[in-house]
Amino acid sequence: MTKKQQLIENLKGFKAAYEKMQEEKKKIDSDLGYTQEGKARLISELMEKYEPIVKKYHDTANQIIEDGIVALNKTWSEQITTRLTDIGYQMGLQNTLEMFKNDLINRPEDAAAIIEVYRRDFPTALELIKKAALQGKEEKTRKYADLIPVDNREYNIKLLKQLSGNVDKYITINAVFVTSKAWNSFNQGLTGVSASMDSMTEFCEKRLNDDLSLIN
């Protein structure tokens, strides 16, 4: 199972556990056989029962994200160091740069195909290609610089850290307790936490690759 799949399953699992806990609390609140003190004691016991469950979901989610960040940084670094010692790659890149500088690429489709080959080689190759294109004498060559995708690695890490921050905010027993203290907060709390899990899951599904890198 990929990191993306693990994270999505974890978020969905917490949502299910949270909603089950809220249903159990709802039964306690609506039971006329208990005094307010009795209900408070039962709810406290309910929280104690779910605390280790919530903690496991929290810790697992953040560990997946942390491992993803570490793996991405390692992959990006290895891509650079490997390319630097690859003579064949360096010769091919040099030829590519000369083609852009000397206006030898006539079609945008050809430029896009070449750029695609180097897409994951930030910041070295694509930055060099962009500079080479801008040095072209013809306007069409200089426009090829617009085809260079933005280096989104720092933005990628920033979004993953924000996702981890949301895990800290919503997947904790304290957050669950706050949204469960009173009957009037039940529906609001359920909607807020559950909707947050849905939003986080949607972000993972639509914005992240299997290794937690951003989908271009």
* Integer angstrom CA distances of residue 131 from 17, 127, 136, 164, 207: 53, 6, 9, 36, 29
CA angle 72, 77, 78 (to 5 degrees): 100
What pTM value is reported for the model? 0.82
DSSP 149: P
What six digits make up the tokens of 55?
A: 């903690």
Whole-angstrom Cα distance, residue 120 to residue 122? 6
pLDDT digits (tens, 9 = 90+) for 128-169: 999 999 999 999 999 999 999 888 899 999 999 999 999 999
The alpha carbon torsion through 157, 80, 147, 211 (nearest 10 deg) reads -40
Averaged confidence pLDDT in the chain = 90
Asked which of 28-37, 133-142, 170-179 is least confident by mean pLDDT, the reply is 170-179
Q: Is residue 30 over pLDDT 70?
A: yes
The residue that leads in pLDDT, 153 or 84, is 153
Cα first-last separation, the chain: 22
